[in-house]
Amino acid sequence: MRHLLRIGDLSVQDVEAILTLARVIKDKAKRGVQHRSLEGKVLAMIFEKPSTRTRVSFEVGMYQLGGLALFIDARTTQLGRGETIADTARVLSRYVDGVMIRANKHETVEEFAANSKVPVINGLTDRFHPCQILGDILTVQERWGDVRRTKVAYVGDGNNVANSWIEAAKLMGFELVLACPEGYDPHAGLIAELPPHIRIVRDPREAVVGAHVIYTDVWVSMGQEAEEEERKRVFAPYQVNDSLVKMAGPQVAVMHCLPAHRGLEITDSVIDGPNSIVLDQAENRLHVQKAILELLLGSHGLAPSGTRQERQEA
Ligand code: CP
Ligand code: NVA
């Protein structure tokens, strides 16, 4: 694999390589041991939409790996004045070692990758958010061990995050139940033929029974602001609150990719409560992205990684 555009493009071995390296990198960071596998490498980060976690974790990640990250607001580039995506990709390929893009349309990231000579990473599109879900799987594994033995209940909008959860469940084989209101299902192409371990239900209470994880995301994603009032009305029964968490049982971990709209998709008492692992989840974006960057931009390709010495240390 040369790019990371969606989890559906990865093999199980790719995901395992990313997670294994992320754990090594996280462990070294916790012990204060440097891990500078991308000395001298440069990542361009193009943003068509706002970001806190993705921007900062990629930027800090590149710095900690010994490289440099360039923050590029798409509106301040010639893209904003009509230069084509293809020409931009061809030119940036001459300057940098990798490109991360947060784009309005998934097709933009695909077109960029098709014209890029360097690896392209999807930092969120309207369709997918692969880096988020890879970080989330690391978090689930830290909490529950093998993700294949967990049940994840996704409650809310069938959006980019839900789509990436579906691709992850298809690949890794864990149980995923999504509770979405009618008309707000995940992408039609992804749910046309679901295996038995992935289900879509309408009632969030049905989804969370026996779940190891309750996961939610905003009701109004970036770019959907015009639908805000209608969405607030439709999604009101899908709030992750104390009574829903209680239905899952005391063991359940509550996750949210953040940013949260407190009092809408999740209550203060849940996001700040004992079941919430949202901050560990946010932190793991950093560790997983460093692994993705090393595997894609480093000399190894997306295959067993690290110098021989680092592998021995692990
Ligand atoms: N979860 C996530 O991608 O957050 P940002 O929008 O802040 O990057
Ligand atoms: N579904 C949200 C995720 C934000 C990280 C959005 O696209 O705005």
Q: Same domain, yes or no, for 111 and 45?
A: yes
Preceding omega of 196 cis (within 30 degrees of 0): no
Q: What is the pLDDT of residues 134-159, one digit of tens each?
A: 999 999 999 999 999 999 999 999 99
3 state SS of 309: helix
Active-site residue 257, yes or no?
yes
Q: Are residues 124 and 146 part of one domain?
A: no
Residue closest via CA to ligand 1's atom 6 equals: 51
CB 72 within 8 A of CB 82: no
Note the pLDDT of residue 312. Answer: 39
How many domains would you assign to the chain? 2
Q: What is the pLDDT of residue 193?
A: 93
| Mean pLDDT on 120-134 | 98
Residue-number span of the structural domain to which 136 is assigned? 130-281
Could you tell me the CA-to-CA distances from 298 to 78, 286, 290 in Å, in that order?
A: 29, 17, 11
CA-nearest residue, atom 3 of ligand 2: 221
For the chain, the C-alpha Rg in angstroms (whole number) is 19
Instruction: Give a yes or no: residue 2 inside a domain.
Output: no
pLDDT at residue 309 tops 50:
no
Share of the chain above pLDDT 90, in %: 94
Q: Which residues line ligand 1 (CB under 6 A)?
A: 51-54, 124, 132, 257-259
Residue 54 inside a domain? The answer is yes
Q: State whether 17 and 39 are in the same domain.
A: yes
For residue 132, indicate whether it is catalytic: yes
**Do 36 and 143 share a structural domain?**
no
Q: Which residues pair with 122 in a beta bridge?
A: 101
- The atom number, within ligand 1, closest to the CA of 54 reads 8
Per-residue pLDDT of 27-47, as tens digits, reads 999 999 999 999 999 999 999
pLDDT in tens, 205-241: 999 999 999 999 999 999 999 999 999 999 999 999 9
285 is catalytic: yes
pLDDT score recorded for residue 225: 97
Tens of pLDDT, residue by residue over 253-277, are 999 999 999 999 999 999 999 999 9
Could you tell me the sign of the dihedral formed by the alpha carbons of 133, 134, 135, 136, in that order? positive
Give the whole-angstrom CA distance, residue 136 versus residue 104: 22
226 in Cβ contact with 251 (< 8 Å): no
Q: What is the pLDDT of residues 69-108, one digit of tens each?
A: 999 999 999 998 999 999 999 999 999 999 999 999 999 9
Question: Is any ligand 2 atom within 6 A of the Cβ of residue 221?
Answer: yes
Residues 97 and 155 in one domain: no
Q: Give the pLDDT score at 299.
A: 80
Q: What is the structure's pLDDT at 146? A: 94
Ligand 1 centre to CA of 102 (Å) is: 10
| Ligand 2 binding pocket includes 122 (Cβ within 6 Å) | no
Residue 300: predicted pLDDT:
63
What is the distance in A from the centroid of ligand 2 to the CA of 223? 9
- Specify whether 228 is located in the same domain as 304: no
